[in-house]
Each structure stands twice: as C-alpha cells, then as structure tokens.
Amino acid sequence: MITPTITYHEFSGSADALRDPRTASPQDRTRRALILTALTLFIPGGAQIAAGSRALGRAALAVTVGCWFLLLLGAAFFFTMRGVLLSALTQPFIMWVAAALLAGLAIGWLLLWLDTFRLIRFATLAPGFKPIIAVTLIVLITLTSGGLGYAAHLVNQGREALSGIFSSGPSIPAEEGRYNFLLLGADSGEGREGVRPDSIHMISVNQDTSESIIFSIPRDFQNARFSEDSPMRQVYPEGYNCGNECIINFLYTEVTNQYSHLYPEAQDPGAEAMMEAISGTLDLSIHGYVMVDMGGFSELIDAMGGVTVETSGWVPYDGRHPETDRWGDWWFEPGIHTFNGDQALSYARSRKYSSDYNRIQRQQCIQQAMVAQFTPQTLLTRFTELMQASENLFETNIPQSQLGSLLNLAVDAQQHNPQRLVLGAPDFGPPSELFSTYPDFDRIHARVDELIANEGQEEETEDTATPENQAQENSDQDQTEPAEDSSAGSAPGPTPEHSDPAVSGDMPPADSDTAPAELTQPDGSPLTMEYLIEAEQAGNLAVLEEAARDNNECTPVRG
C-alpha cells in the first residue's frame, strides 16, 4: 500500500518520469496518458510542453491563446457593435480567410493529436486500457479536427452561395432614414408564358428605430404609376393603364419580353420595372429587390425545419381525397400548424372560396413566421440545407457588402410588430369599389405618410396606457390596420338569402359588436375536412365560403 503512493508522488514531482514513462508504474502510465489527452483537448500544446517538444507546444499554445482572444473579441463586438461584426463576417475575403483559418486549425490540431499519441507510448499501456485510450482519441479527433474541418467547409460553402446570390456593387444609402425593398414571389406555373410575380410586397424599415411597414399590392392592381426616372414612361406616360392586360403582375413578363432594351445595364429588366412601378405608386424610393422563386420556396422552409403559425378559418388546398384518393380539395383546419414547405406554399397561395385579400394576409403571415423563426440556432444547425436552398431560390440586386448591416437591422426589426397596408380592399373600401382597378393615388400617398408618421406610437401607448389615450390608440389602429371584422366581411361569404341555418350552426348575423358563432355541422358537431369535402361535392358553396371567411387571420408562432 505504501509503495504505489510513494511511486505516484515521485512520478508527480518528477519531470523525467512525465517525459519518460519507462520510469513510472503501470498505474502512473495510465494517469499520464489521461493527463496528456486532457491537455491536448483543453489546452492544445500543453501535452507537448509537458512531455514533448516544448517549441512545438509553445507555438500551439500561442495559437490557442490567439483563438480564445478572437472569440472573446467577437463576443464583445456581438453585444456592443453587432452590425460591424455581421458586416465583417459576410464579406467574401473575410469568409475566405475564416475558412482557411479553420482548415489550418483542423490540420494543426490533428498533428497535435498524432504527436500526443506518440507521447503516450501506446505500447507501454496496460492491455486493458489500450482499446479505451484508442477509442477516446478517435472520438476526440473527430470532434475537434473533424468539427473544425466541417466548419471550414460550411464557411466556404456560404461564401460561394452568398457571392452567387448578392451583387458586388457599393452599399446603398438609406433615404430619409428608411430602407425600402421590394419582395416578389415569382411563379412560372403551368400554362403561363414566362414568370409572373403573384406575390408583391414592399417592406420599408426605419433605419434608426427598426420599425417596419409592409405594403401589399394585389396582383390584379391596375394603372400603376412609374417613377419619374423610369424609362417605361416612354411606353406608358400615364401609367400602366392599358386595361385588363396591364395588371401589375403582367408587367414583369412584358418588360422582359418586349422592353428589356430600355434597361441595358440591368441584371433583371423586369424586376427593375417592377421597382419603378411600385415606387411611383407609393411615392417612395425603392433601394433594391428580392425575388423568390415560389417553386423553390418550399425548399427554404424545409431547410428551416418548417414554420409554425396559428390560424383561424378553414383554408382549402389541392390534395387527394382520404377515401377515394381522387384529386380535389383538402382543408387546413383552424389551430396551430407546423407547416413543411409544400404545406406552407399551399396555405399561402390558396384563394378559393375567399378573396385575394385573405391570400395576401396569409402570405404576410408566412413571411413573418419565417423571419421570426429564423434564429441563430436555425442558421447553425441547418446551414448546409439553407445555403443549398437559397442558391436556387433568390435573385436580388442587394450588394453583399451591405448584407451584414441589413441582417443586423432585420434582427432588430423582429422586436416590433409591423404596420400593414393593402392597396385594395378592405383597406381602401369594400371590393365593390374596385379600388385596385381604379386607384386613387392621392389617397395612397396620404395613407403611406400616415403610417410613417405613426411609427413609435405603439411603444408610447404601451408605456402610457390610460383610459384617455386608449380610444386614440384604437383609432390609430383602425387607420393603419384592417380590423378583424372588416377583413372577415371582405371575404365573399354567403348572403342571408343563400345561408343555410341548419348547416351553418344557426349563426347570428355578423355585426361589429357580436362575434360569429363557431361553425358546426347540422347535428351540432364541429366541422371536419370530410364534411367540407362532401359539401363541395354537393355544390353547397355557402358552407364552403362561410368556413373560409376568416382564413386570413393568422399569427406567427415565435420559436
């Protein structure tokens, strides 16, 4: 009992025994192997200083200290100057340097592990301990050197993907303290000639407060005005006003096919013309565009792991009948859903039995859900899938040099609920007024100015909520966002002469003071998808329209 204790102390205090395990007992050689392994894992270079080449150990230790310094510096920048950090990390050269550095660290750590294996003197270990230390070393090499090598691959892959998506031009300055970007959802579906942007939104963000406004333009919007510097004024001096052939989502294809010569330096003439049309319509300068291929939209959502939203109303979409397997309408029921890519696309696109306004609201909801749930954890855990999906999904003229600052602005914008305005029903009257067909641009410009002026009022009223200002808050909300009852009334639901009380659950007439009763089947049981399918087969449109009436109501669920 005394001899091992003395030998251990002699080993512990003897540098010769640590550097030459032949003077140590079997137990001490085991401890020595564990110590060297731990040093290489937690203090790369420590094993070499203790038992090998001190010059190599000092060099490795200096690199280790340098890496920890960079990590701490990055953490300090993240909490104090996040925009600067993101701007640096999204530059092509910085990303290339980071990939090379990570690859170098992976190789260097691998060499240290191999040298540690040599220093352990594997042959001198106890037979039962040899497989344990061998497996441990293999696992640690995979986690450390392998992990760094994989990180280098991801960074390089991200560098190539971002260079392929974003332009190389100079940064775009904000105008009057705002950044305005056009978001187009393009679709080249079957039976269509060329690409048409069916989803058209302009997102305006305040540079200082990060508050945002989402302007939605119905796809059948007519008579759009072009900005003063637009070459399309040569073709349509009074605006895009040739009747039903000049709805806004036809403009992209028309310019691409017939007037691309007017945009000799443009990467995408159709997108440039869309920017000018929305700019002139809203009387706001647009600084860039992002066009999303709706055919690949589902890939991005799948890469994110899906999106979660809470919905109201029933939303029809194409699917196969659960019993007959025939192709027809399925329905998303009200409640919380985590949609995969195809489901999210079907949910956002649906307009059957409801209205274009409901469709626009659902599109906005899916977009907000993607922003709200696009967290750093999502980026880190699904980086490869996101990069692969993004390369074939996005087209933009936003410069890569500005990507970091815009990402920082987007992170801050997540803390605010955006204001919204639709250039049509119900924000500008009921559908019967045909505002999207005959727009009043003075009214549009006044509403745009009003929304910009209202920024900051939400935070102020939350901080100073009193009975006196509550009425004013409700008035402001009525002017900036459609009320739920208003949006519900805009959908083409059943009229009293077409309603069926036995089927609709004896619903009372909808009014501003009484919420509609929950829809039920004739026997009082809740609605089901199977019942709605049967109602469709029976041609009972009143039931279907009533079920879909409130399907614009959607709330993103934050991750």
The answer to whether residue 470 sits within a structural domain is yes
Instruction: Say how far apart CA 435 and CA 321 lie, in whole Å.
Output: 38
Whether residues 247 and 377 share a domain: the answer is: no
Whether residues 475 and 498 share a domain: the answer is: no
Instruction: Say how far apart CA 535 and CA 547 lie, in whole Å.
Output: 11
The residues near 408 (Cβ < 8 Å, ≥ 6 apart) are 82, 83, 86, 87
| Predicted pLDDT of residue 291 | 87
| Predicted pLDDT of residue 159 | 87
Whether residues 377 and 419 share a domain: the answer is: no
- 313 in Cβ contact with 549 (< 8 Å): yes
| Predicted pLDDT of residue 346 | 87
The answer to whether residue 69 sits within a structural domain is yes
| Predicted pLDDT of residue 482 | 37
Whether residues 32 and 135 share a domain: the answer is: yes
| Predicted pLDDT of residue 279 | 96
Range of the domain at 357: 306-381+493-559
Q: Which spans in 26-53 are helix H?
A: 26-42, 46-51
Q: Give the closest residue to 20 by CA, choosing from 111, 121, 117, 113.
A: 121
| Predicted pLDDT of residue 322 | 56
Whether residues 366 and 402 share a domain: the answer is: no
Whether residues 355 and 500 share a domain: the answer is: yes
Whether residues 6 and 44 share a domain: the answer is: yes
Instruction: Give the number of domains in the chain.
Output: 3
| Predicted pLDDT of residue 368 | 77
Mean pLDDT in consecutive groups of 10 residues from the start of the chain, 559 residues: 40 56 79 92 94 93 95 92 87 93 97 95 87 95 96 88 80 90 74 67 93 92 95 95 89 94 93 96 94 76 88 82 63 91 87 83 82 68 67 80 86 86 91 92 97 77 42 40 35 31 31 53 84 86 87 82
Whether residues 50 and 152 share a domain: the answer is: yes
Instruction: Say how far apart CA 438 and CA 434 lie, in whole Å.
Output: 6
| Predicted pLDDT of residue 381 | 65
- 329 in Cβ contact with 536 (< 8 Å): yes
Q: What is the CATH number of the domain that holds 449?
A: 3.30.420
Whether residues 236 and 276 share a domain: the answer is: yes
